[in-house]
Structure 1
Amino acid sequence: MTETRTVLARRQGAIARLTVNRPEALNALDLPMIRAMTTALDEWETDPAVTAVVLDGAGDRAFCAGGDIGVVHASAVGDPAVALTLWREEYRLDARLARYPKPVVALMDGITMGGGIGIGAHAAVRVVTERSVLAMPEVAIGLAPDVGGALLLAHAPGELGTHLALTAGRVRPADAVHCGLADHHVPADRLPALVDDLAAGAPPETTTKKYAEDPGPAPLAAARCWIDHAYRDAATVEDVLYRLDAIGEPVTREAVAAITAAAPTALKVTLRAVRNARAMTSIEACLRQDFRLCGRFLAHPDLAEGIRAAILDKDRAPRWRPGTLAEVDDADVAAFFAPIPDELDLPEPGHLLHP
């Protein structure tokens, strides 16, 4: 198998190895990669010699930094069908990985954001290392958390998930485990030995525990008091900002700055999306909501503008439309959640979210 392929699929003893191999782009997912991963999973599902799948990323900088944002930008200003096809197949892959009949061990070593959360954080066994940085940063580019991320954030302790969603906050290993985005912290230099044991037929969960180490205290656990106070039962994003401002601590001022820099429409849609997800018990329900939201953001001016400002021109000066929270009313938000003609088609197996 050549090193130029963007997905490496191969057998190693009792396991199958699936590596996203685009390190020059922080292993960002494009449609050919999504399709290659799906094909490999199809083949291994009925192979009795494969007892588990290990999913990782090439290089030591990123597991997967997300979807190919250049493709999304081009689609937002050109042909929407391109991004819709990518999201439709990506979300089906996310659901497939979450439901795969053989254990999937996701080694989320390095940057893991957006689409990386989608393929990694719904797996049966989710590993982070000291190099891991996890985030759902979509509000910063005029989008809402997708790939089932709202489901994970909605079920984080207290209001931690709402805080991460609205601030586009990044978490390190201790917070990732505390918030339910990962199960185990394994030092990066122990991953090869872990994979070797799995290849020898060792059971994934107990074997991963053997290599895991305590990631230390979770900073967000210590911040629960002010985070819960600011976000719990807040009717609007404006209410959240008012409460954060009233606390008046440096950390809450940082949160205010992060929220007010994001797209007003995306913020209000995100708050509703996360709260909707609290009543969801399956990734499929959340992905259907995600598909509706992303399709509508694709037609909204903020998405192309957010990607331009953050990724393309890097001027960090997006011109949001509308530019204030007050200009986004309840009807505007509700329109994002309305049914669409071509809904995301996913089975509903009745399985609860990741324990």
Structure 2
Amino acid sequence: MSVFNLYKMSLNFSQRLGSLCRLRIIHQHMMSTQVGSEVLMERVGNAGVITLNRPKALNALNLSMIRHIYPQLKKWEKDSGTDVVIIKGAGGKAFCAGGDIRAVTEAGKLGESLAQDFFREEYILNNAIGTYQKPYVALIDGITMGGGVGLSVHGRFRVATEKTLFAMPETAIGLFPDVGGGHFLPRLQGKLGLFLALTGFRLKGRDVQRAGVASHFVDSQKITALEKDLVDLKTPSIEDVAGLLKFYEKQSSVESDKPFILEQHMDAINRLFEANSIEEICENLKQDGSAFAQKQLETLSKMSPTSLKLTFRQLWAGAGMSLQDVLIMEYRLSQACMRGQDFYEGVRAVLIDKDQSPKWTPSTLEGVTESFLDGCFKPLGERDLKF
């Protein structure tokens, strides 16, 4: 019988007896910690299990959740009784659809510290995941965007299912693909990462693995069984976890006969997005004239010109940086966006009023000068991100 079923039996027993003391003992025995209701953390067997538990908000990540996940990860990393960490989302629709952007927007408008604290602490958590010393398994079953990517992509194991929907849509809201996007995106095949970063193109199911964002693919109906087997592993090595994931992957057949959605376009992506500037990419797309090129040009024309230029330089620089250095750079960019206008306008147009008609400032690529960009990348002195 599973630990979870034992827990339920014990809980029902305690309720029948009406014994609060008994209930506390069971909770302590399970080593379970419930932080409010937004993130659940428990020890199950030799595994630490994190459940993002804001299903109505598609498990969007807020500062409170970050502040509970980070110390628990650090504690489990040092705990000899914890051999593997699993992170997942509740509700069946999303792993994590992003950060709590509305709260950050309001704080930025008012000059409140959340606009600094959220990004700083989120990036410190991203780095902790990227440098984690024990097997870290993200079950990205459902929508995985923005902050959800940061909670998963830097970990050693990222398990996608046919329900996974990945995207980094930040250029549409006046931001840039942060949470370490400047590190992992340039390391995807060819110019795929730059294409995904600039256009916000969505990948689904097996394509998330084929792109290199996920490390494994497992049918969603097998995820519960996979989690149980992960929990049951005794002092597993990284190779043991990898072997189990590969076993489940071999048993998964959903979408196995479909080619990568961008396979027929990869040559064009590599050719058209090989450029020294956003303007050059746009010119390449104009000159090409194909339906695919025209569609990408139309997409880019809707994005924040400032975001496009920041993102291009971010990925160009990030290709040669460590994850830590990328996150330090991205923190500087996040604060530049907080000082600017496009982030607030993008959130208004896409998430609040939903008119999908942002008024960007400047409104053209030409209006975003190199000196302005230089200022966005400048060190912040005492306010720089530190690990």
TM class, shorter-length: over 0.9
Mapped contact 1:14–1:198 kept (Cα < 8 A): no
User: SS of the residue aligned with 2:151?
Assistant: helix
- Number of aligned pairs? 344
Q: Where in structure 2 are the equivalents of 1:280-295 lying within 5 Å?
A: 280=321, 282-295=322-335
Q: Where in structure 2 are the equivalents of 1:121-140 lying within 5 Å?
A: 121-140=153-172
Q: In the alignment, is residue 217 of structure 1 matched against residue 259 of structure 2?
A: yes
Q: CA deviation at 1:80?
A: 4.6
Q: Where in structure 2 are the equivalents of 1:1-355 lying within 5 Å?
A: 5-201=37-233, 203-212=240-249, 213=252, 215=256, 216-232=258-274, 234-280=275-321, 282-341=322-381, 342-346=383-387
Amino acid in structure 1 at the alignment position of 2:272: A
Q: CA deviation at 1:30?
A: 0.6
Amino acid in structure 2 at the alignment position of 1:207: L
Q: CA deviation at 1:335?
A: 1.4
Structure-2 separation of matches of 1:326 and 1:172: 34
Q: Deviation per CA, 1:219-241: give whole Å up to 9, x if none.
A: 22331111111111x12212111
Structure-2 separation of matches of 1:115 and 1:2: 21
Amino acid in structure 1 at the alignment position of 2:368: V
Structure-1 separation of matches of 2:286 and 2:209: 29
Mapped contact 1:76–1:303 kept (Cα < 8 A): no
Q: CA deviation at 1:2?
A: 6.0
Mapped contact 2:34–2:41 kept (Cα < 8 A): no
TM-score with structure 2 setting the length: 0.86
The worse-fitting range, judged by mean Cα deviation, of 333-342 and 309-318 is 333-342
Change (3 A) 1:80 1:255: farther
CA RMSD of aligned residues (A): 1.5
Mapped contact 2:108–2:114 kept (Cα < 8 A): no
Q: CA deviation at 1:276?
A: 0.7
Amino acid in structure 1 at the alignment position of 2:306: T
User: SS of the residue aligned with 1:19?
Assistant: strand
Structure-2 separation of matches of 1:278 and 1:98: 16
Q: CA deviation at 1:83?
A: 1.6
User: SS of the residue aligned with 1:144?
Assistant: coil
Structure-1 separation of matches of 2:47 and 2:170: 34
Amino acid in structure 1 at the alignment position of 2:199: T
Structure-2 separation of matches of 1:80 and 1:238: 36
Structure-2 separation of matches of 1:340 and 1:4: 34
The worse-fitting range, judged by mean Cα deviation, of 237-246 and 108-117 is 237-246
Structure-2 separation of matches of 1:250 and 1:316: 23
User: SS of the residue aligned with 1:53?
Assistant: strand
Q: CA deviation at 1:60?
A: 1.1
Q: CA deviation at 1:217?
A: 2.1
Q: Deviation per CA, 1:121-170: give whole Å up to 9, x if none.
A: 11111110000011111100001111001211111111111111110111
Structure-1 separation of matches of 2:195 and 2:127: 25
Amino acid in structure 1 at the alignment position of 2:385: L
Q: CA deviation at 1:76?
A: 2.3
Structure-2 separation of matches of 1:31 and 1:77: 17
- Which residue of 2 is the match for residue 350 of structure 1? none
Amino acid in structure 2 at the alignment position of 1:211: Y
Q: CA deviation at 1:180?
A: 2.0
Amino acid in structure 1 at the alignment position of 2:297: V
TM-score with structure 1 setting the length: 0.94
Mapped contact 2:345–2:358 kept (Cα < 8 A): yes
User: Which of the two has higher C-alpha Rg?
Assistant: 2
Mapped contact 2:282–2:297 kept (Cα < 8 A): yes
Structure-1 separation of matches of 2:176 and 2:194: 12
Q: Deviation per CA, 1:187-233: give whole Å up to 9, x if none.
A: 1110111111111116321101111146442122331111111111x
User: SS of the residue aligned with 1:219?
Assistant: coil
Mapped contact 2:42–2:48 kept (Cα < 8 A): yes
- Give the percent of matched residue pairs that are identical in Structure 1 and Structure 2: 37
Mapped contact 1:160–1:220 kept (Cα < 8 A): no
Q: Which runs of 5+ in 1 are unaligned?
A: 347-355
